[in-house]
Structure 1
Amino acid sequence: ETNGSFSIKDVPLDVVKVVDIKCPESGESESMAWENLSLVRPHDQFKFVVASKADFDWALGVCRDHSLEEKCHILYSPVHGKVKPHELANWILDSKAPVTMQIQLHKEIWGPNERGV
């Protein structure tokens, strides 16, 4: 798993990669290694952690503009404490986006500030 700021070009092709795509509200979207969008294989995953409806719409646009659903599996996760899981679920259902929702279980179990779990 990578935070998306480093290229995955040197990672062996048979390694399953989970690549974060930083949404604007993360404050880190400018540090993205955008070349990763063309380097994934069908067994890899892109993950968007969504902090708002604006982030969600931005993520949908990235998926659409780069045909990401045709390249690999797409995951959406709500930012703990900012987007309720049911809100994100409804946005996904309403958009009919071919994505999987996940919850950051470590934050649900140990809280948002616990490190190293």
Structure 2
Amino acid sequence: MSNPLDTVFAALADPTRRAILAMLLEDDMAVTDVAEPFKMSLAAISKHLTILTRAGLIAQEKRGRVKWCKLQPDAMKDASVWMQGFGQFEPVNLDAFERFLKSELGSEPHTPES
């Protein structure tokens, strides 16, 4: 995707990635700690983290043997500004936005394995 806004929205479209972002609001986390609450492989979580990193939503860095993830504070600024134009400056509910996109695009979102 060539447009950074498209890349951010594509990353935000997945509920697992949104859950990861919510976890990182609290503090930086090791990749293994990020993976812990999800019922999927570490490789699957790593793919999600790669997508979030490419979108500029998180940064990953190696500290010793451990890879850490941290939220990029200004990463959603452009997306937030764009969405506010549709909500007359009220907060945007991303789950409602996902349902809207699903109804418009007719596609089923990816959900974590259960």
Larger radius of gyration: 2
- TM-based fold match above 0.5: no
More helix by share: 2
Higher relative contact order (CA 8 A, sep 6+): 2
Q: Scaled by the length of structure 1, what TM-score is found?
A: 0.29
